Structure 1
Amino acid sequence: MLKRTPLFPVYAEHGARVIDFGGWELPVQFTGIQKEHDAVRQQAGLFDVSHMGEVRVTGEDALPFLQKITTNDVAKLENGQCQYSLMCYPDGGVVDDLLVYKLGDNNYMLVINASNIDKDVAWMQQNLTGHTEITNISDETAMLAVQGPHAEQILAKLTDAPIQTLKTFRFLPDVKVADINALLSRTGYTGEDGFELYVDQHDAVQLWKLLLEAGQEYGLVPAGLGARDTLRFEARLPLYGQELSNEISPLEAGLNYFVKLDKGDFIGRDVIAEHKANGAPRKLVGIEMIDRGIPRPHYKVFTLEGTPIGEVTTGTQSPTFKTNVGLALIDSAYSALGTEVNVEIRGAQVKAKIVATPFYKRKP
């Protein structure tokens, strides 16, 4: 039986095509991936991300516990600030990537990937130290995301909260959006400006409708997982299970910035420090096809001489640029920009080259 978010009842009203996504019945698209992608790049899109997991971490030892299980430096967070981070296994592989929200002293919320909720909570329980309490609040929490250049104007119609001055990776813990209580953050997973609204699951449908109504004049459209994937891919934002896994370290995925080796010990630090000192054996790179063909996940990558050097993690025709591009995890020795490689597409070796990423950057 597939799980459903509190917003499942409204999908049909917007013509959603639903798929099984990691055990959840979620919309891959409403009006079409290209249309939804363009709306987020040019106006705004509304995403149901209620399948994501939320976990409260509280108690007098919450900070040392989080320092132990995550790679970023939680001690640097102020109240009302959040950070991107990773949880690793001792061998440097990634348990999950996540966001850490600091609600107050000894009071944090972690936002984790939907397909990893049970695994992540079990991992945290297994590594629990001191006076720390973990509470999985995923089932009672809904999460909606408004993304795109007009996101701020749309939300400003529904709240008096000072969102105009809210900086990226900051949040307001308790605001009224219309008459609904929400935690409102400004992070985004699309390469555009955007806000996330965490609300009680019972308020999700009402908030969805209010946002769509408020966003009508700005071209706001419901957007599904398809556009979410193409948008995050163009911005080179990783997806767990593709650019990250228990077999891929944060440094191999190019996430060095979110690993703070100088903060003290944490799970996986030794292997990651070794990668930093001697270079990671593999590297995540951008590829662009020279010959015809679209690189897809798990397509093998070879040198021009035919030596296997890795595989594609994500690939598609970029909806923004109409180029056939991908991300590939390959042997670091072949990762220099401009290097030509072959991608095996349906049994044929097709030429591509290593290119700079992200493929898309928002204009300031």
Structure 2
Amino acid sequence: MNTLTQFHLVHGAVLEEVDGIGIPMRYGSRFEQEIQTMLQGAGIFDASTMMEIQVKGPDSLQFLQGLVTNDLNALEVGECQPNLMCNSRGKIEHRLEIIRLEEKAFLICCARGEGLAVGRKLDQFHIREDLQLSVLNSDTIRIDMIGALAKQILENQGWSTDTFKWKMSGIEILTVEAPINDFPRFIHLVPLLEAVTFIETMSEEPETGLVGQDSLKDLQTHLGHPQFGMDYGVENFPQEAALGDHISFNKGCYVGQEPHARMYHRGHPNWILVQLQLPEDMVVNSGVKLYVEDQKVGTLTSLSSIQEQDFRNGIGMIRHQIAGTGQDLTIENNKNV
């Protein structure tokens, strides 16, 4: 058992193993407290199960441009960009976050459990390009800070908005701003051996606390941020998953580019993810069917527990012709959504 796992267990974490690494799902019975920590302060989330693949070398930009949907030319050093890998039919294979470490070096952050498949695809397409592929997780891990006061807390520790590489108590850290929609989130790349010290130091700040995967997912649904494997999957096009901002239509060819361009210029998807509001007292689970009058028009894909102004937010996949009309939807028992 490594030091980081021991740290989480001491703090009451319920762990779930992914690729041999235990990820904190929640800390005891503090689910609601974790939510409030992010809404009012800053939650510290161990994202070490996200495989980090570095692509470095003279041809790194050209190589990745042919594989991912967004335009990496628009990415400055020290910035993070949402991205997708798609198949030749244009359907989503992997959602990625790509950080530009140097002019000719990029870090691909893979969703948990997706790293090996992403690595195999990179190997498959890497033929003659002058670059090196390497996994950094044995030396460096990712720790996120999410919450309304995250920026202020980081500034208290010596970070500034114009700084990508900095030191805290002698620890060398890379910090990238990567909001969830418009909600503050900061990605930290921290030496593995210093991870516990980093978390402990940040936890000493007022209004901070450890948060697990369950509360973070709940917050993302509340914010209307669709999640791979829950709101959409490999059967969907990016436009169906409301991920149009993950695609550049000006960058040139990449795997899946032609179907995306046809849909963008000539039409629209038949289905699309939208944010929904449900009465806070409605008892319903994700997966329930959505209706307009007696016609089935979609499915509720996720529902947040966070109550705001007598409502809870959810995400649903509905027919495109219904989206944006403002029509009330109902579930099977005719309760309004």
CA 1:34–1:298 in 2, change beyond 3 Å: closer, same or farther? Answer: same
Determine if contact 2:297/2:319 at 8 Å carries over to the other structure. yes
Q: Name 1:352's counterpart in structure 2.
A: 336
CA 1:301–1:138 in 2, change beyond 3 Å: closer, same or farther? Answer: farther
CA 1:138–1:313 in 2, change beyond 3 Å: closer, same or farther? Answer: farther
Rounded Cα–Cα distance in structure 2 between residues aligned with 1:279 and 1:178: 52
2:293 is equivalent to residue 304 of structure 1: yes
How is 1:196-211 mapped onto 2 (pairs within 5 angstroms)? Answer: 196-211=187-202
Among candidates 323, 328, 352, match of residue 316 of structure 2: 328
2:149 is equivalent to residue 150 of structure 1: yes
Q: Deviation digits for residues 86-119 of structure 1, max 9, x if unmatched?
A: 1111112112111211122221111111111111
Determine if contact 2:231/2:301 at 8 Å carries over to the other structure. yes
Give the TM-score of the pair, scaled to structure 2.
0.90
Q: Name 1:8's counterpart in structure 2.
A: 5
Q: Name 2:38's counterpart in structure 1.
A: 40
Counterpart of 2:317, as a letter, is: L
Task: Please report how far the alpha carbon of residue 237 of structure 1 lies from its aligned counterpart in structure 2 after TM superposition.
Answer: 1.7
Q: Name 2:168's counterpart in structure 1.
A: 177
CA 1:144–1:317 in 2, change beyond 3 Å: closer, same or farther? Answer: same
CA 1:120–1:319 in 2, change beyond 3 Å: closer, same or farther? Answer: farther
Mind listing any 5+ residue stretches in structure 1 that lack a counterpart?
Answer: 354-364
How is 1:189-228 mapped onto 2 (pairs within 5 angstroms)? Answer: 189=180, 191-213=182-204, 215=205, 218-228=206-216
CA 1:125–1:298 in 2, change beyond 3 Å: closer, same or farther? Answer: farther
Determine if contact 1:304/1:340 at 8 Å carries over to the other structure. no
Task: Please report how far the alpha carbon of residue 298 of structure 1 lies from its aligned counterpart in structure 2 after TM superposition.
Answer: 2.6
Counterpart of 1:297, as a letter, is: S
Task: Please report how far the alpha carbon of residue 21 of structure 1 lies from its aligned counterpart in structure 2 after TM superposition.
Answer: 6.3
Determine if contact 2:224/2:313 at 8 Å carries over to the other structure. no
How is 1:230-241 mapped onto 2 (pairs within 5 angstroms)? Answer: 230-241=218-229
Q: Which moved more, 1:109-118 or 1:321-330?
A: 321-330
2:5 is equivalent to residue 17 of structure 1: no
- CA RMSD of the aligned region, Å? 2.4
CA 1:177–1:285 in 2, change beyond 3 Å: closer, same or farther? Answer: same
Rounded Cα–Cα distance in structure 2 between residues aligned with 1:150 and 1:47: 15
Rounded Cα–Cα distance in structure 2 between residues aligned with 1:205 and 1:273: 46
Rounded Cα–Cα distance in structure 1 between residues aligned with 2:31 and 2:53: 31
2:51 is equivalent to residue 29 of structure 1: no
Q: Name 2:254's counterpart in structure 1.
A: 266
CA 1:133–1:319 in 2, change beyond 3 Å: closer, same or farther? Answer: farther
Rounded Cα–Cα distance in structure 2 between residues aligned with 1:325 and 1:156: 31
Task: Please report how far the alpha carbon of residue 17 of structure 1 lies from its aligned counterpart in structure 2 after TM superposition.
Answer: 2.9
Rounded Cα–Cα distance in structure 1 between residues aligned with 2:95 and 2:219: 18
Rounded Cα–Cα distance in structure 2 between residues aligned with 1:177 and 1:209: 12
Rounded Cα–Cα distance in structure 2 between residues aligned with 1:219 and 1:302: 42
Among candidates 61, 69, 72, match of residue 71 of structure 1: 69
Rounded Cα–Cα distance in structure 2 between residues aligned with 1:108 and 1:264: 19
CA 1:8–1:190 in 2, change beyond 3 Å: closer, same or farther? Answer: farther
Determine if contact 2:298/2:316 at 8 Å carries over to the other structure. yes
Rounded Cα–Cα distance in structure 2 between residues aligned with 1:22 and 1:343: 38
Q: Name 2:234's counterpart in structure 1.
A: 246
Q: Deviation digits for residues 228-253 of structure 1, max 9, x if unmatched?
A: 11211122222111233211111111
Task: Please report how far the alpha carbon of residue 15 of structure 1 lies from its aligned counterpart in structure 2 after TM superposition.
Answer: 2.1
Task: Please report how far the alpha carbon of residue 268 of structure 1 lies from its aligned counterpart in structure 2 after TM superposition.
Answer: 0.8
Q: Name 1:99's counterpart in structure 2.
A: 97
CA 1:150–1:287 in 2, change beyond 3 Å: closer, same or farther? Answer: closer
Mind listing any 5+ residue stretches in structure 2 that lack a counterpart?
Answer: none
Give the TM-score of the pair, scaled to structure 1.
0.84
Q: Deviation digits for residues 111-166 of structure 1, max 9, x if unmatched?
A: 1111111111111211225223221223432221222232233223433x4x1x34
Q: Name 1:359's counterpart in structure 2.
A: none
Task: Please report how far the alpha carbon of residue 263 of structure 1 lies from its aligned counterpart in structure 2 after TM superposition.
Answer: 0.9
2:33 is equivalent to residue 49 of structure 1: no
Determine if contact 2:226/2:315 at 8 Å carries over to the other structure. no
Counterpart of 2:336, as a letter, is: A
% identical equivalent positions: 22
Task: Please report how far the alpha carbon of residue 325 of structure 1 lies from its aligned counterpart in structure 2 after TM superposition.
Answer: 3.2
Rounded Cα–Cα distance in structure 1 between residues aligned with 2:54 and 2:16: 29
Rounded Cα–Cα distance in structure 2 between residues aligned with 1:32 and 1:242: 23
Task: Please report how far the alpha carbon of residue 23 of structure 1 lies from its aligned counterpart in structure 2 after TM superposition.
Answer: 6.9
Determine if contact 1:36/1:222 at 8 Å carries over to the other structure. yes
Task: Please report how far the alpha carbon of residue 280 of structure 1 lies from its aligned counterpart in structure 2 after TM superposition.
Answer: 0.9
SS of 1:352 mapped into structure 2: coil
Q: Which moved more, 1:315-324 or 1:6-15?
A: 315-324
